[in-house]
Amino acid sequence: MKNSIFLLLAAAIFFTGCPSSQAAAKREQKLDSDGCISAVHLWSITFKHEMASFMGVSQERMPALFCHRLGEGIRSGRISYSDLNRLQLDQPTEIWMVIKGKSKAPPQAPTPRNSKFRNCNGIDGTFQVPASQKCPLSGYAHY
C-alpha cells in the first residue's frame, strides 16, 4: 500500500508546478487530476477497498476524492518532498491526515502551572497540595 501511494505522490509532486495564469492552472489541475484518477483505477481491487475504508468513503468516490485531497495537500504545502522521504523511511508524516481529510491538529498548549500549588502523585491519581507543604509519603491527599 505504501509503495503505490509513494509512486502516485512522487508523480503528483513532480507534475505540480507554478503555472503562469489562472486559466493555465485550471487546465493543469484538470490534467493532473485525470492522470491521478487513471492511476488510482489501476490499483488492485483489494487496495482500492482498503484505501476507501481508510478514507471513510465509498469505492466509487475514492479515486476522485483521493486525488482531490492529494492535489490540495500539495498545493497548500501540507505535502512536500520531505514527506515522500519520510514515507519511504517509515517515519511519521502528515500525508495520512491529508488523505483521510483531517485538518491539521492545533498544537497542544501545556497546562498552566500555578506556583501556589505543587502536583503530587497518589494512589487515586494526581492531586495538588499547597506549595508550602511537601507531598505526603502515604500517597493520600488527606494524611
| Dihedral angle, C-alpha 58, 61, 67, 71, nearest 10 ° | -100
Per-residue pLDDT band at 82 (split at 50, 70, 90):
confident
pLDDT over threshold 80, residue 10: no
4 vs 29, 45, 115, 117, CA distance in Å? Answer: 21, 13, 53, 54
**Higher-pLDDT residue of 34, 98:** 98
pLDDT over threshold 60, residue 24: no
pLDDT at 3: 57
pLDDT at 5: 63
pLDDT at 53: 92
Q: How large is the average pLDDT for residues 38-45?
A: 87
Place of cell 515522500: 84
